[in-house]
Amino acid sequence: MNYSLLDFFTLIGSLGLFLYGMKLMSEALQKVAGEKLRNILTAMTKNRVMGVFTGILITALIQSSSATTVMVVSFVNAGLLTLVQSITVIMGANIGTTVTAWIISLFGFKVSIATIAVPLIAVAIPFIFSSNNHRRYWGEFIIGFSLLFLGLEGLKTNAPDLNANPDMLAFVQNYTDMGYLSVLLFLFIGTLLTVIVQSSSATMAITLIMCANGWIPFELAAAMVLGENIGTTITANIAAIPANVSAKRAAFSHLIFNVFGVIWMLCLFYPFTRMIAYFVGQMDMGDPRDLIAFSQSLPAETMKAITAGSEQLSPELTQLRDQYLNYQISTSYALSLFHTTFNILNTFIMIWFVKPIANLVSIIIKKKESDEEFQLKYISTGMLSTSELSILQAWKEIGLYAERTQRMFGMVRELYKENNENEFVKIYSRIEKYENICDRMEIEIADYLSKVADGRLSNISKHKIHTMLRIVSEIESVGDSCFNLARIIQRKRNDKTEYTDYINDNIDLMFNLVEGAIYQMTNTLKSDNSLDMDEFNRSVNIESEINNFRNQLKNQNAVNVNNRDYDYLASVTYMDTINECEKMGDYVINVMEALREAEK
């Protein structure tokens, strides 16, 4: 088989297309999905059984467990699914992918969604150029979805074409008589082949060819099928490379789930394969284990005659050919039945260990300080036992919300001082992610408080909820201001504007004042939410200092530009920074005033 350098680079390009499609699709999901899709997905995965059936349904429809797990990873990356929910969907995907194996066995063809990927891009073009943001995000989602499948198709078609050249693997029949070692060897071969061709279905076809040609017995073909279950997890793990820590954990849980399943199956391997062979043998097509013995019992000339596809055969040869075809069909059915039964049993066993699997992958893939994703800690979509207790939980979540904005402002200060281009991009991207998190947290907390307000509440509790909703809105504005500051800093960097020491010192002093105000707000919200007069007066004094300092710098700026102490372009971003800090101080004092009014 010829495999040129161009073929290799085409393969790498397909991988890049796949990863970019995954990234584009995930980012578009965060913009367009909103709460509606998240609520639908939450409803579909509200318990383990529903999650499994969701995975089965999606995989059976799109005919690719790899694509399903990739989409699940993107949903986790976008905050639409939790880790536990994603594991159940992945379990269902393992069952759903066996539908493909049956299609190969029964019909010999496989539906590919990649054939409609390019037409889908054509559909997305009008959306991309739409002035409506919502429609444009839908266009990005469709293009990302299409590129993802084009990349998957490219990985399959540009990999070394082992499916069309099965003779390359004929040597493996020399290693079929080593007992349990042969089982382990062919399990490894199945894993490796699936990693190479990026499709468990393609590897299944290769396995069927090897077994039907009599190179390996049914048991070793079944071992290859087990290896394919491990190898197919590589796609989701590749997709999770650019994603957040929860997406990486979701992809790794797929590997853990399949590896554990293979381990327990290896302990029961020979009894289980004998049971499968017995059931298929009852279909009057022959025992799949007898295929090799049958083919080896015939002379080479006879085998060549009955496999050549000629219609002009003697009655005796026609009978032998039909018998041989029955053995091949029997073997194909047996492998498909083995594949399906194994995945159903594995899911039935492992579904009880979803949370331990989630805990295990969380221990193995640790969360770094830079890994931040949307996740509420104290409240959930379900209501607590009493509305009064729900208010307490919501206060805790608001305290965490304020702490996130405090960290976000700390990142802004890091961004201002950063000179390294790569580090600057990393910090800016992290601030942008925090901005998305802040927006999502505002919606979730406000929606939760609205549900609490529907319950039986005292007048005091109703007043508290009104205060909390106001505070949540003001904290979100603090997050918006942090992101605005990051964009101003980026604009200053893009313009290659140089600040004087005088400007840097003033901005640093303003940052110190704002940081003190945010610190005061966060400490109050994370304690008991009570505000004594001293704390309130301290916040008022800081706000006054911020306002006075802004006014002083604004007046002095006109004089400095006129005296040519620095150029006008520098003064623009300088004053934008100072003004945005003053706005942030206003939002912070609004929170403190809301707390003060709540105690009256």
Q: How confident is the model at residue 29 (pLDDT cuts 50, 70, 90)?
A: low
The number of residues in the chain equals 600
Question: CA–CA separation, 323 vs 337, rounded Å?
Answer: 21
Instruction: Provide the CATH topology of domain 387-598.
Output: Methane Monooxygenase Hydroxylase; Chain G, domain 1 (1.20.58)
DSSP string, 534-578: HHHHHHHHHHHHHHHHHHHHHHHHHHHHHTTSS-HHHHHHHHHHH
Question: Does pLDDT of 294 surpass 90?
Answer: no
Higher pLDDT, 538 or 114: 538
Tell me what the mean pLDDT of segment 313-332 comes to.
Answer: 74
Q: Chain-wide mean pLDDT for the chain?
A: 77
The yes-or-no verdict on residue 65 having pLDDT over 80 is no
pLDDT surpasses 80 at 366: no
Q: Which candidate, 278, 269, 276, 281, places its Cα nearest to that of 330?
A: 281
The pLDDT of 518-529, averaged and rounded, is 82
Token pair in block for residue 155: 């990985």
Residue corresponding to tokens 């998957």: 152
Tokens of 254: 């797929």
Q: Directed axis angle between helix 98-106 and helix 200-212, to 10°?
A: 40
pLDDT higher at 125 or 78 = 125
Q: Give the pLDDT of residue 40.
A: 53
Residue 105's CB: how many other CB atoms inside 10 A?
20
Among all chains, which residue has been given the structure tokens 């590749």? 238
Burial 191-201 (b: 16+ CB within 10 A, else e): bebbbbbbbbb
Q: What residues does each domain of the chain span?
A: 5-160+172-283+328-364, 387-598
Distance CA 141, CA 143 (A): 6
Residue of 581 and 381 predicted with greater confidence: 581
Q: Please report the pLDDT score of residue 228 as a whole number.
A: 83
Residue 313's Cβ-side half-sphere holds a number of Cα atoms within 13 Å equal to: 19
The model's confidence at residue 137, banded by pLDDT at 50, 70 and 90, is confident
pTM of the model: 0.55
pLDDT value, residue 164: 46
Q: How far, in Å, CA of 370 to CA of 348, rounded?
A: 37
What is the mean predicted confidence (pLDDT) over 224-247?
75
Q: What pLDDT does 242 receive?
A: 63
- Show Cβ contacts of residue 278 under 8 Å, excluding neighbours closer than 6 positions: 287
pLDDT at 281 over 80: no
Structure tokens that stand for 585 in this block: 């101080």
